[in-house]
Chains A and B, each alone.
Chain A
Amino acid sequence: MTAGRDDKRADWEPVIGLEVHVELNTQTKMFCGCAVSFGDPPNTHTCPVCLAHPGALPVVNERAVEYATRIALALGCRMAPVSIFHRKNYFYPDLPKAYQISQYDEPLAVDGRFEYWVGDDKLSCRINRVHMEEDAAKLIHAGGETGRIAGSDHSMVDFNRGGTPLIEIVTEPDIPSSEAAREFLNQLRGMVQELGVSDVNMEEGQIRWDANISVRRVGSGELGTRTELKNMNSFRFLQQALEAEIPRQIAVLEAGGRIDQETLHFDPDTGATTPLRSKEEAHDYRYFPEPDLVPLVMDEAFVERVRASLPELPEARVERFMAAYGLPRYDAGVLGSSGPLARFFEQAARSGVDAKLLANWTMGEYLAHVNAAGIEPGKGHVTAERLARLVKLVETGTVSSSGAKDVFQLMIDERGEPEQIVEKHGLAQVSDAGELAAVVAKVVAEHPAQVEQYRAGKQQVAGFFVGRVMQATQGRANPKLVNELVRKALAG
């Protein structure tokens, strides 16, 4: 498999795994009834439970379980018949109980698979587990210059975010390159968004990830020591961080050294990864089953209900577009990956117009238009139905492709109908063979030298005549027909 392999080295290959955290867009937090919110004044969405007051107890959010199950099923996981919560114990100001309620060795779901595309290659990444936990509160470091811990002289905690339902998705180390990692994340994010369980807004930290990266000699099959990369809050930074770390590890190993299993912090300003200097030793989380919560038993009926409610996922839709519309992978990918555009295309396709032609128009003129206008596909004057009718005009030769581009723009400007625009602006293609033959004859008669060149073997000179005919007809002649007539005339 050559997909996206870092071209830098052919003898070493990176082995990448990801741990992705997704904040759910439920109404309330994972274990209490406080509203999940973003950007509200600090500490306005708290209660005894999420502030960990003495005597407070957690109660599981039903919808969070449903949403977690959606994600797990969409990733093809096996739902555990019984799963439980565990306490993960450590001290930090953003963790009010000094333990996080999470899942440990009996998680919600295991053994899934996510298929994704890197260029024309389809890759598969195994999913180790999907589990539920609660998010930490927000910590702000103050008194220093950078807003980071180093140099700060105090910190402040806002518990609004604390307790938000968090889904953790852990992959096996199946990702073969930094580019693949980026694509994986991008497409995973798209899928989660389509599931409607999270807004996956990266700026608001609703999707976060850590990467585990090791390298090995190609063909080795063994896993090297891995490092953990943290704090990459954009896909670009992820790729950058990996592209910094991979060569670093290779260099160390080639020099005969060993990789230390450490956590590296990515600095977006320098693009470098540095070891997290911590006063403490590695965490001993002292996991034990959460006594305040009872086990979750997966009911077959519930699982089927959730499965039935899954929307068509992007990957499946892309495959379907390829099959149903005979589209190449690239076209299906552009059109099928995003819900609104896919629905727009399908609606237009119902008109029966040529699918490939429609695809070209949708990916080309239409997509450029909605992007420039900042509107969602399906909105605005160019409805699916209108676009379909315009493409039909091209298909039937009523209008030439370049003419149609003008029609498209005029249609938007004048908020008119395509047929009407063609009529009004006289953009109809001339397809009358008789009429065109006369023009062809005229042009041929005017250029005997080129006729000689053609007959001598320079076939491409036909283009010259076509051009002249197009000129003579102000571009309205049907180019295909002109081509035919020119060759006929030249053949003599």
Chain B
Amino acid sequence: MITEDDVRHVAMLARLHLTADETSRMAGELAKILRHIDKMSELDISDVPPTAHVLDLTNVLRADKAQPSLPRHEALKNAPAVTDDCFRVPRMS
């Protein structure tokens, strides 16, 4: 039901590097879990509305008033790499 190609594709979407070993194991584990999850498809519930929120809350809004931002050194303090006060990332090309 879920092939190693599927696993590789999903891992790419999730930016997760899996070893060859992990990939083949993952295919088996996911297949088993998905088989169990498939139980849901037994139900014919096309006219049941989905629940996106359990609360009946609506219109929670915030006044447009500036709050203090983090001092820059705080914003950068966990950064793995910093250049010119910016977060540095490896080449994107």
Contact = CB atoms under 8 A, between A and B. Distances in A.
Please determine if A and B sit in direct contact within the complex, based on CB atoms under 8 angstroms apart.
yes
A61 B66 CA distance: 11
A45 B87 CA distance: 14
Nearest to A98: B15
B88 A47 contact: no
B63 interface: yes
Contacts of A297: 58-59
A299 to B, nearest CB: 8
A62 interface: yes
Contacts of B66: 27-28, 33-35
Given A34-B69, A156-B83, A289-B52, A62 B64 contact: yes
Contact of B91 (A51, A140, A155, A294): A155
Chain B interface mostly helix, strand, loop or mixed?
A: loop
Interface string A41-71: 1111111100100000001111111000000
Interface in A368-391: none
Q: Which of B83, B84, B87, B90 gathers most chain A CB within 10 Å?
A: B87
Chain A interface mostly helix, strand, loop or mixed?
A: loop
A42 B15 contact: no
A151 B92 CA distance: 9
Interface in A258-315: 284, 286, 289, 291, 293-297, 299
Contacts of B46: none
B62 interface: yes
B58 A294 contact: yes
Q: Which 4 A-B pairs have the closest CB atoms?
A: A33-B67, A156-B86, A63-B64, A62-B61
Given A27-B64, A156-B83, 7 more contacts: A33-B67, A34-B69, A47-B69, A60-B62, A143-B91, A152-B91, A153-B91
Interface of A: 26-28, 32-35, 41-48, 51, 59-65, 82, 84, 91, 93, 140-144, 149-159, 284, 286, 289, 291, 293-297, 299
